[in-house]
Amino acid sequence: MRLSETPFPALVCGLGGTIPFVFLSIGVYVFPYEWKLIALYNLLNYSVIVLSFLGAVHWGVAIYGKNKNSKVYVWSVIPALASWFILMGFTTNYIIIILFLILCFAVTYYVDLLSTRKSIFPAWYLRLRKLFTIVVFICLGFVAIAINNQYV
């Protein structure tokens, strides 16, 4: 994974976006009980925010390129709507919620992979997304384990 070709501001901001994932997932293990719940809720909400951003990247590229393909615009709101839907209270099983969010991150990465192959995104974007997605998978996975082991 060569991140050296990534523009420095994008690298700093992209990796900076992983800080809440790392901090909050560690917090689920080490904070006092009441704070663990706050960390969990914030992690879930932050996941929705990030998924919304990842979809919005496609909207921005479509607008910039004056794309008239409705599929791009429809896709650009799906990560936000799907992740918001799971938090609406249709399930209170946090492991299911986390697994669904992991699935959302995987699907958005796959769509970004396809977009990069079509030269819609620069190659450095996919490398940054790959690293970001790995960090998110690890963090959400550890939180799912914490919930399963009743740390939360």
pLDDT of residue 3: 77
Per-residue pLDDT of the chain (152 residues; tens, 9 = 90+): 577 889 999 999 999 999 999 999 999 999 999 999 999 999 999 999 999 999 999 999 888 877 777 888 999 999 999 999 998 877 789 999 999 999 999 999 999 999 999 999 999 999 999 999 999 999 999 999 999 988 77
Name the residue ranges covered by the structural domains of the chain.
8-148
Amino acid sitting at position 5: E
pLDDT of residue 1: 56
Q: Which residues contact 97 (CB under 8 A, 6 or more apart)?
A: 44, 86, 87, 91
Spell out where 1-152 has E strands.
none
Give the integer Cα–Cα distance in Å for 45 and 33: 19
Tokens of 31: 């904070």
Closest CA to 40 of 19, 53, 54, 26: 26
If you ran DSSP here, which 8-state letter would residue 150 be given? T
pLDDT of residue 151: 72
Global pTM reads 0.93
pLDDT of residue 62: 87
